[in-house]
Structure 1
Amino acid sequence: MWVRRSERSMTLYELLGKMQPRTRQDVFVFSQFWDVMEKRGFGPMLALPSFIACTPIGAIPGVPSLVGGTILLIALQILLGRRNPWLPQKVLNLECDADQLRVMVEKVKPTAVRIDRFLVPRCFFMKQPVSRSLIALCCAGCGFVMVPLELVPFMGLVPAFAVLIMAIGMTTDDGAVALVGVSISLLGFVFGAQRLAAVLA
């Protein structure tokens, strides 16, 4: 999850910049981000789909399930000990509206600058194998539950947000933030299960 590498950890502002489609680009293809970021570890790879699920794009029918499946696949690779993430070409070819994504990133960037003041490499115990496995399991669980939670309006936001927080912690090497994401995911599992049971009852 936190592979030893020469690059310094990224800031949240830098991560958002990598997510932002280029000017005059009408369609954003997932592979464009993947090609740039795949060597930076699993954090950025989990950040993009979870961020998309937290935007209005995530309200489009089918998107939560698609994002959840992508997150699940990436998280399973962490558990399997892969050094670099891999996704099938069909997932890499997925597209979304570039204008929508560009606008959302621009809106979040000012907040990201303020948040970056508090994001620092710390809580290095979170890099230990047991902690890595815990975070990967939480991400995998969030991805899995996003599929059935699509039946409950807006409930998919909870696991997506939890993954986003964990991904930010992974990307910035801030174990404290990753731990917050783990806590949100555990609470989300309980709340989501209750809501889903009520819908299916």
Structure 2
Amino acid sequence: MWVRTADKSMTLYEMLVKMQPRNKQDVFEFGDFWDVMEKRGFGPMLAFPSFIACTPIGAIPGVPSLAGGTILLIALQILLGRRHPWLPQKVMELQCDADQLRAIVERVKPFAVRIDRFLVPRWFFMRQPVFRSLIALCCVGCGMVMIPFELIPFMGLIPAFAVFIMAIGMATDDGAVALIGVSMSLFGFVLGFESLASAVS
């Protein structure tokens, strides 16, 4: 999941640039991002669906569930010890409006530059197998709960954002940020299930 090499580590700004569709694109497929980033580890792969779920695109019915299912598949592969992530072709062909995604990324870029000042390789103990498994389990849990949480307005944002934070920590080799994401996911589970129980009752 994490590799001690400079070419694997990324900045948040770099990840956003990779998520941004080319100017001539009308439709952006998940496979477009995958082809560019598949050799950069699991962090960027988890970042893309969780980022989409956190944007206005995530308000489209069905998108949180699709993003959650994708996160679940990727995180399970971390637990299984796969070296390179894999997804079914149908997931790779999922599309979103390129202009909308491009505009969202442009708005977020200035904030990414500021955040990158605080993202540094640290807390390498988070790369140990026990902590890798903890992060992967949290991502699995977040992916699973994003599906029923779609029934509660805005509740799916919590696990999606937690995965995005963990993914940033993984991609930038910042173990402290990854741990923050783990804490957010645990808080989200408690809050979300309480809200879900209230909605059902």
Query: Aligning the two structures, in what range does the TM-score lie when normalised by the shorter sequence?
Result: over 0.9
8 Å CA contact retained: 2:20, 2:101: yes
Give the CA deviation at 1:7: 1.5
Distance 1:83 1:4, change over 3 A: farther
Report the TM-score, using the length of structure 1 for normalisation: 0.98
Unaligned runs of 5+ in 1: none
Q: Over residues 5-49 of structure 1, what are the superposed CA-to-partner deviations in whole Å (9 max), with x where a residue is unaligned?
A: 561411111110000000021100000100010000000000000
Please show how residues 14-93 of structure 1 align to structure 2 within 5 Å.
14-93=14-93
The residue aligned with 1:101 is 101
Give the CA deviation at 1:66: 0.5
Give the CA deviation at 1:59: 0.4
SS in 1 for 2:28: strand
Unaligned runs of 5+ in 2: none
SS in 2 for 1:69: helix
Give the CA deviation at 1:152: 0.3
SS in 1 for 2:150: helix
- What is the rounded CA distance, in whole Å, between the counterparts of 1:4 and 1:91 in structure 2? 30
- What is the rounded CA distance, in whole Å, between the counterparts of 1:179 and 1:6 in structure 2? 21
The residue aligned with 2:134 is 134
Q: Over residues 77-109 of structure 1, what are the superposed CA-to-partner deviations in whole Å (9 max), with x where a residue is unaligned?
A: 000000000000000000001111101100010
- What is the rounded CA distance, in whole Å, between the counterparts of 1:164 and 1:135 in structure 2? 12
User: What number of residue pairs does the alignment pair up?
Assistant: 201
Give the CA deviation at 1:3: 3.8
Mean alpha-carbon deviation: is it higher for 5-14 or for 69-78?
Answer: 5-14
- What is the rounded CA distance, in whole Å, between the counterparts of 1:157 and 1:21 in structure 2? 23
* C-alpha RMSD of matched pairs (Å): 0.9
Q: Over residues 116-155 of structure 1, what are the superposed CA-to-partner deviations in whole Å (9 max), with x where a residue is unaligned?
A: 0000000000000000000000000000000000110110
Report the TM-score, using the length of structure 2 for normalisation: 0.98
The residue aligned with 1:111 is 111
Q: Establish whether residue 164 from structure 1 lines up as the match of residue 164 from structure 2.
A: yes
Give the CA deviation at 1:2: 1.1
8 Å CA contact retained: 2:8, 2:41: no
8 Å CA contact retained: 2:13, 2:116: yes
- What is the rounded CA distance, in whole Å, between the counterparts of 1:121 and 1:88 in structure 2? 32
The residue aligned with 1:121 is 121
8 Å CA contact retained: 1:3, 1:83: no
SS in 2 for 1:153: coil
The residue aligned with 2:178 is 178
Which stretches of structure 1, 4 residues or longer, exceed 3 Å deviation after superposition?
A: 3-6
8 Å CA contact retained: 2:27, 2:96: yes
- What is the rounded CA distance, in whole Å, between the counterparts of 1:182 and 1:6 in structure 2? 24
Q: Over residues 153-197 of structure 1, what are the superposed CA-to-partner deviations in whole Å (9 max), with x where a residue is unaligned?
A: 110000000000000000000000000000000000000000000
